[in-house]
Amino acid sequence: MYILNDAISFIISRTYSRMKNIFLKKLKRYGITLEQWVLLAQLSEKEGISPTDLSLVSLRDKPYTTRLIDRLAENGLIFKEESKIDKRSSLIYLTQQGAEIKKEIIPIADEINEWLVENMDEEEVRKLKVVLYKMYENIQSHS
């Protein structure tokens, strides 16, 4: 018998939805969306990345990533620079303002991640990550 509240997909979705809503409320004061934050966070790990590579690491399609990049550039949080290697391509960097906002948001994201694993020991967290990675690989093999 199928019970929705017991379905793994429902549990994950409900948890993600609640986490996302909390994070969105906290992002509102910075004037950025969750999707824009994903790009800023990726740029904090590797600046000077092409829009194509940024779309791959952020798991977004290229046209959507391009729109997000344009919006972040309009807001003065990132800038594009022509690639010295491939003149047809541009590279994306954080501006000073983007770097400052990133520094302010990272502790907020860390706090929410801590809430997610509250009352779990290190081994439970490690196992959870292993299971979630396996689940992701499983679903990837069916798409």
Q: Are strands 90-94 and 78-82 parallel, antiparallel or unpaired?
A: antiparallel
Q: Is residue 114 part of a domain?
A: no
Q: pTM of the predicted model, to two decimals?
A: 0.81
Q: Is residue 129 part of a domain?
A: no
Q: Is residue 140 part of a domain?
A: no
Q: Which of 75, 82, 33, 79 is nearest to 58 (CA)?
A: 33
CATH number of the structural domain spanning residue 65? 1.10.10.10
Q: Is residue 3 part of a domain?
A: no
Q: Encode pLDDT of 51-90 as tens digits.
A: 888 998 888 889 999 999 999 999 999 998 886 776 677 8
Q: Is residue 44 part of a domain?
A: yes
Q: How many folded domains does the chain comprise?
A: 1
Q: Is residue 137 part of a domain?
A: no
Distance of CA 67 to the CA centre of its chain: 16
The DSSP result for 60-84, as a single string, is --HHHHHHHHHHHHHTTSEEEEE-S
Range of the domain at 25: 18-108
Average pLDDT taken over every residue of the chain: 91
Question: Where on the phi/psi map is residue 31: left (φ > 0), alpha (ψ -120 to 50), or beta?
Answer: left
